[in-house]
Chains A and B, each alone.
Chain A
């Protein structure tokens, strides 16, 4: 007979200790008094890269504000950091903790599913919530008074993407007539593909095929095989970074070179990382995505700061940076951390000190009306804004030179 070194009592004691450790709040508090601001991102789990980048942007904004003395009359900003664990439930749990910690507002969320949950949880406490990225239109259409989205929603992005694509094609003498869409099969990709399928035929494009794929997809050879067989003028990918990398690499390998590659929300032309790592595959790719105002010196200053830290200047960074500045501005104008007053100040915000090409903020039912995506293109190993004209650094090169 073997004698277990664990007695029932010691087992109970150990597991109780374990449970207590698990139950300990994971909300980390930065030192100092002043105004508490909840910074909520999925910094672990599947979305952790984006979440970490978002937190970086938010913390850079807080650092800057605190270096200048914090919020006038209220003191320094005390960041209450939360990890949404890449799940809506994780986001909810953090809202509870942040509410208990007495934050004046919450900024972040990143993924649509998390933003949907967080906005609702925060609404129960009348807690002001500034959405950083989450594009699902329903985030701001449920009539929640506490929720404000700084960036554009899905509908606005899709509309902009289609209009700009038509403009680019018309400007070049309509070289592209046939299109193939390659999209990931969740809400984001499938929703976009559906919109493109409805809108593009009316703009003179013939859609040859729409190919859905799961995330993750391990191999894109079959997809590229189909593209090669149908030889479309234009390929429109709508997928996440990893799949995008594999798709672009496989297209290069199989020597498939359409007249244009035009991504919507995520592609080479909105990723400095991709351009740096695959300069050849990235060349001339166009993208419609969140992008900073390239003519704003503050945006370029932030870019340098982020790159000096050895990080890529991704949209999560500058959108969160801007969203925190926006929230801080509202708290400053409210003159108090009192939540209803902060909500009021956000609703009437005309904040222009951000780094996005949106103009001064103007919230209508919680959506920043000026928010719009930019069209970018990979040119000379760099990413240039080509549309809208007001922010454009250069003209689009389309079709891609052979």
Chain B
């Protein structure tokens, strides 16, 4: 019954979905992979950013693709301040404390959203929401294609930032050897906050890309975060190409296992691949050997 058309379309769908996963995972791989902060607030921040994109559209009539230029810096700042003045000082450098603080933050953010906007599911109606690219055998939604392109741009920018800029070098230095970095004059607290800010900015971009074709409610981010954690480990902690490729792999695997095993069991494929990779390559696909 399964024709090649369905198979190819399912792979294309997987790639398009994987792009969004990759973007959420890019933010997480910086925070989780580089700084080893298990950021439980990542999903809540994604929900918050989606609300920001939503209200930019409904109140300021700002298209989500333009709102990206407002929401992203705002969330970079938010992430910076959160790490600098909340997570950093309260966790005192202890990984377990960070975990609890971010968990607490996620509860607070989700409930503030719930209190402010109710549990209502909201969507926006942009004129291009139903535009598609006709491939003859299937239609590819334009908003998802745009997302696909933007993910590569963001990944490229992040990679360049980590590779060629002082901030990137400082982040890598702190990740490798915190004390050594501190001794050579790097302001570790600032670098932590910058990294958290960058990770949060990625989430903001993902939010703006999702908004034209997805919905928002106070818990929407959670749907993406477990997947993003998986991608980070799969791709290799802190690896930008790893998050990107990992996102696409997970997207395609989810799509195909959904097709063959049924949507309800689609997730099984993801975790089978995940376990297999961990068994064969414990550092993930692109992770450096420690």
A and B found bound together:
yes
Contact pick for B215, options A219, A223, A229, A246, CB 8 Å: A246
In the complex the two chains form, is B125's CB within 8 Å of A277's CB?
yes
B6 within 8 A of A: yes
In the complex the two chains form, is B263's CB within 8 Å of A217's CB?
yes
Contacting residues, chain A, for B259 (C-beta < 8 A): 222, 225-226
- Can you name the residue of chain A whose Cβ is closest to the Cβ of B111? A44
Contacting residues, chain A, for B139 (C-beta < 8 A): 253-255
Report the minimum CB–CB distance from B148 to chain A (whole Å): 13
Report the minimum CB–CB distance from A24 to chain B (whole Å): 17
Report the minimum CB–CB distance from A309 to chain B (whole Å): 12
A interface SS class: helix
A188 within 8 A of B: no
Given contacts A229-B3, A246-B215, A278-B125, contact A223 B119 (CB under 8 A): no
Contacting residues, chain B, for A253 (C-beta < 8 A): 130, 132, 139, 141
Considering the chains assembled together, what is the distance between the CA atoms of A262 and B215 in angstroms?
22
A52 within 8 A of B: yes
A231 within 8 A of B: no
Considering the chains assembled together, what is the distance between the CA atoms of A185 and B261 in angstroms?
14
Contact pick for A242, options B6, B13, B121, B263, CB 8 Å: B121
A178 within 8 A of B: no
B123 within 8 A of A: yes
Contacting residues, chain A, for B102 (C-beta < 8 A): none
In the complex the two chains form, is A218's CB within 8 Å of B215's CB?
no
In the complex the two chains form, is A52's CB within 8 Å of B119's CB?
yes
In the complex the two chains form, is B114's CB within 8 Å of A245's CB?
no
Considering the chains assembled together, what is the distance between the CA atoms of A184 and B261 in angstroms?
15
Report the minimum CB–CB distance from A250 to chain B (whole Å): 8
In the complex the two chains form, is B215's CB within 8 Å of A52's CB?
no
- Can you name the residue of chain A whose Cβ is closest to the Cβ of B134? A255
Contacting residues, chain A, for B239 (C-beta < 8 A): none
- Can you name the residue of chain B whose Cβ is closest to the Cβ of A2? B92
Considering the chains assembled together, what is the distance between the CA atoms of A279 and B136 in angstroms?
27
Which candidate, A100-108, A142-150, A207-215, is the interface stretch facing chain B? A207-215
A241 within 8 A of B: yes
Given contacts A49-B121, A211-B263, A254-B139, contact A218 B6 (CB under 8 A): no
Contacting residues, chain A, for B223 (C-beta < 8 A): 216, 218
In the complex the two chains form, is B6's CB within 8 Å of A225's CB?
yes
Considering the chains assembled together, what is the distance between the CA atoms of A214 and B270 in angstroms?
15
A249 within 8 A of B: yes
A46 within 8 A of B: yes
Report the minimum CB–CB distance from A6 to chain B (whole Å): 11
Given contacts A225-B6, A249-B213, contact A212 B264 (CB under 8 A): yes
Considering the chains assembled together, what is the distance between the CA atoms of A213 and B258 in angstroms?
9
Given contacts A211-B262, A229-B5, A255-B132, 7 further A-B contacts (CB under 8 A): A48-B114, A214-B263, A214-B267, A222-B259, A225-B9, A229-B3, A242-B215
| Interface of A toward B, CB cutoff 8 Å | 44, 46-49, 51-52, 185, 211-214, 216-219, 221-223, 225-226, 229, 241-242, 245-246, 249, 252-255, 277-278, 280
Give 25 A-B contacts (CB < 8 Å), ordered by A residue.
Answer: A44-B111, A49-B118, A52-B119, A211-B262, A212-B262, A212-B263, A214-B264, A218-B17, A218-B224, A219-B13, A221-B16, A222-B13, A222-B263, A225-B9, A225-B259, A226-B6, A226-B259, A229-B5, A229-B6, A242-B121, A245-B123, A245-B215, A249-B213, A252-B130, A253-B139
